[in-house]
Amino acid sequence: MTPIQRPERHCSTDPRGTPIDVLSLRPAELIMITIARHYFGSFAAPDQQGWLGGVSAALRFYGHDIGPHAAVAVLSAVQAMRRSRISAFRFNSADCAHCAAHLSENERQFLNTCRAMATNRREAAKGHAMILCEGNDTQPFLEAMAVMAQVCKISRVTPRSGPDAPAKLRRRPQVNLVDVPPQTGL
């Protein structure tokens, strides 16, 4: 068996946004953005089936107990935003190390909405959501973000990764649904 070959992707020369390493993201925030990026990519290029990467990332980080719930919660938030938003959402690819090392302005608004919901700052969340949803109805998006923040354990007090991180936040064994051959029954 050979892994599925993906066409080589090239980065564009467009600005990427803010480097992630200067933003002090928590592990749960970084994985949530990674999962969301896979879904964004899935909607932008459906033939690439980026949703498989989103599910794989959720399972790898959260394990089989919480991973499926996290994957669906992130998808629900992305879909709620898509229903309200009219213009294109600028995001960086989760599949390119160079691109994934930056957070676009739209991705920052997505993350900030989630952070505000996680810390019960509803007015701040409404402001970020209003910008993301371009003045359209934000209620379904905010509700989905509240669920996502809870399921994905997004909080500014979540410990960083490393030896002091709770076992739930340490990296799980690799689960990759993207390169699974079709005959495996998945």
Residue 67's pLDDT band, with cuts at 50, 70 and 90, is very high
Q: What share of the chain has pLDDT > 70, as a percent? A: 75
The pLDDT, as a whole number, for residue 7 is: 46
Per-residue pLDDT tens digits for 107-157:
999 999 999 999 999 999 999 999 999 999 999 999 999 999 999 988 644
Tokens read off for 46? 């459906």
Give the domain ranges of the chain.
18-157
Tell me the pTM: 0.77
Tokens read off for 116? 């505000």
Residue 132: CB partners within 8 Å, gap ≥ 6? 81, 84, 85, 106, 109, 110, 113, 138, 141
The pLDDT, as a whole number, for residue 107 is: 95
The answer to whether the beta carbons of residues 85 and 77 sit under 8 Å apart is no
Tokens read off for 32? 């949530």
Mean pLDDT across the chain, nearest whole number? 80
The pLDDT, as a whole number, for residue 123 is: 96
Q: Give the bridge partners for 19, in sequence order.
A: 102
For 103-114, letters b (16+ CB in 10 Å) and e give bbebbebbbbbb
Which residue in this structure is represented by tokens 């005959």? 183
